[in-house]
Amino acid sequence: MNHGPGSSGDGRRRFAHALLFIAPAMWSANYLVARLAPGVIEPHLLALLRWTFALLLMLPIAAGELRRQWPRWREEIPDMVVLGALGMWICGAFVYIGGRTTTAANIGLLYAMAPVMIAAVSSRMFGDRLSPVQILGVALAASGMLLIILKGSLENLLAVRFTAGDLWVLTAVLCWTTYSILLRRQPSCLGPFARLTAITMGGVLVLLPFTAAEIVDVGLPTDWPRALMLAAIAALLPGFGAYQAYSFMQRELGPARTGLVLYLGPLYAALVAWWLLGERPVWYHALGACLILPGIYLANRSAGPPARPAETEPSRPPSALARSAGRQDPAARHDAGTVAARVADAR
């Protein structure tokens, strides 16, 4: 077996490529939760319970690193709160709120913008330029996603009508793009798993006052067992599992290629609906899969490792993250991939 310097990096990248197809399966559970939540649990309470449950799963694993690195990562707390607000509050509750007055097709169309925006910003900020073959892969994947969302009919695109709910979803899409870029742009002394745990703490803190206001306005759920079940599903799969996978893929593949996982969402959601709700897939699901799967393969073909933020960090005003990153040692950077891989293997 090869134990040379590059062997662990190659293994992490192979694992990251596998996660491109595994993470959307975990995220697709959120489609089911979003469909079942109205009338059972309010959006902010669902988001708060989701990330509180996920945090309870993360803390026992990440506590050791968080304690050891506390003198360094406490300077990053403002950044963790900002990332938590973007990733856990806005990208969680806002989609649930928008889903009340808009359609699943509109949500899918708006989220189709995210990988393109992430790729465009990454190209300017990090030099993550895609080759012509990789651009073709992105185009194929996007076409497959749109085919599924529009159910194979151009008339459905012409019939799209935007509502107030779309503004909530559009805000979530823009904040997801920002979250993805900041996750790469701002280095941390923590490994991916411990860092996401700290970000989740920030997200829970941000959600608390909004959830309290929501409870005062509309009250608590009447069907607590069902509400807790939905929150637990959202915490375990699209929360704990998918976000950890996304952080690891960001580090190994870069934001542009990692963003492609969003294109697998509608396909996986159709399979989940078939399995759990008895909604059989039809021809456009199959054709969409024939475009999405090779598209993601081409988009990641001959993809070199992304530049490390510590080595190619763009100029920006000094911040707590910049100061802590300046003291980051090689061992801490090496631990980032091994901690995430070990946790993923345990799952």
**What pLDDT is recorded for position 329?**
42
Mean pLDDT over each residue of the chain, to the nearest integer:
78
**What pLDDT is recorded for position 56?**
95
Query: Cβ-count burial of 174 within 10 angstroms (0-12 exposed, 13-18 middle, 19+ buried)?
Result: middle
| Closest alpha carbon to 182 in 121, 114, 249 | 121
Handedness of CA 227, 229, 248, 323 (dihedral sign): positive
Alpha helices for 219-263 (secondary structure H) = 224-234, 242-253, 255-258
**What pLDDT is recorded for position 184?**
82
**pLDDT digit string, tens, across residues 325-341:** 444 444 443 443 433 33
Does the predicted model carry a pTM greater than 0.75?
Answer: no
pLDDT tier at 30 (50, 70, 90 boundaries)?
confident
Read off the tokens for 71.
């003198």
Rounded to an integer, what distance in angstroms lies between the CA atom of residue 277 and that of residue 180? 32
User: Scanning the structure block, which residue is given the tokens 């949500």?
Assistant: 107
SS3 163: coil
Give the helix/strand (H/E) hosting 38. none
pLDDT tier at 277 (50, 70, 90 boundaries)?
low
Tell me the HSE value of 33 on the side-chain side, using a 13 A CA sphere: 30
Query: Cβ-count burial of 100 within 10 angstroms (0-12 exposed, 13-18 middle, 19+ buried)?
Result: middle
Rounded to an integer, what distance in angstroms lies between the CA atom of residue 300 and that of residue 312? 21
How many CB atoms sit inside 10 A of residue 301's CB?
Answer: 12
**What pLDDT is recorded for position 138?**
79
**pLDDT digit string, tens, across residues 297-313:** 787 665 455 544 443 33
Rounded to 5°, angle at Cα 187 from 186 and 189: 140
**What pLDDT is recorded for position 186?**
85
